[in-house]
Amino acid sequence: MSIESEAEVDRLLAPGIDALVVDDHEHNRSLLGALLSQLGCSVSLAASGSEAVRLACRKPYHLIIMDWRMPGLNGDETVWRIRRAGPCRHTFIARWSTDPPLGDHVGLYDAELPKPVTCAALARLVASAKRRSSRRRKLSRPAPAAD
């Protein structure tokens, strides 16, 4: 990915974006966490679906990247539990997998992130989460008082 200007760098960086990476393989978690950190995200890591649900119930993440195939709670069940209630029910969640996109989980995942990950795909994903976060902040602001 070539960066043409300072404005392009600012567009790619995501300070203030809290991300949760969920994967049962330590290498995958660490790699994706490091890449997200380079983009300016604050990153938390979870090694299992149950750990991800616990973390997502405590903190409103802007982005969750969910491994689809995990022992115990798989990615789908984990996302259902996260979306059911709590501070992350409207979080931008991406399905991270080597499998082809599903298409039959409308409303469950917001995006697909293929493994192996590319910097360009990850930057697009973070930009999407950043846009949703900005829209949600604008919508949650109280309307100005009428005179």
* pLDDT tens digits along 48-87: 999 999 999 999 999 999 999 999 999 999 999 999 978 9
CATH value at residue 130: 3.40.50.2300
Residue 6 within any structural domain of the chain: no
In three-state secondary structure terms, 29 is helix
- Six token digits for residue 22: 């969920």
Residue 50 within any structural domain of the chain: yes
Residue 21 within any structural domain of the chain: yes
Domain around 74: 14-139
Distance CA 137, CA 130 (A): 11
Identify residue 147 by its one-letter amino acid code.
Answer: D
Residue 147 within any structural domain of the chain: no
CA angle 111, 49, 68 (to 5 degrees): 40
72 CB contacts (<8 Å, ≥6 apart)? Answer: 48, 49, 50
Residue 7 within any structural domain of the chain: no
Distance CA 108, CA 93 (A): 8
pLDDT at residue number 139: 60
- Six token digits for residue 75: 């990615």
Residue 131 within any structural domain of the chain: yes
pLDDT at residue number 1: 42
Domain count, the chain: 1
pLDDT at residue number 2: 45
pLDDT at residue number 16: 82
Residue 4 within any structural domain of the chain: no
Distance CA 131, CA 117 (A): 21
Q: Which residues of the chain have pLDDT under 70?
A: 1-15, 102-106, 136-147
Residue 110 within any structural domain of the chain: yes
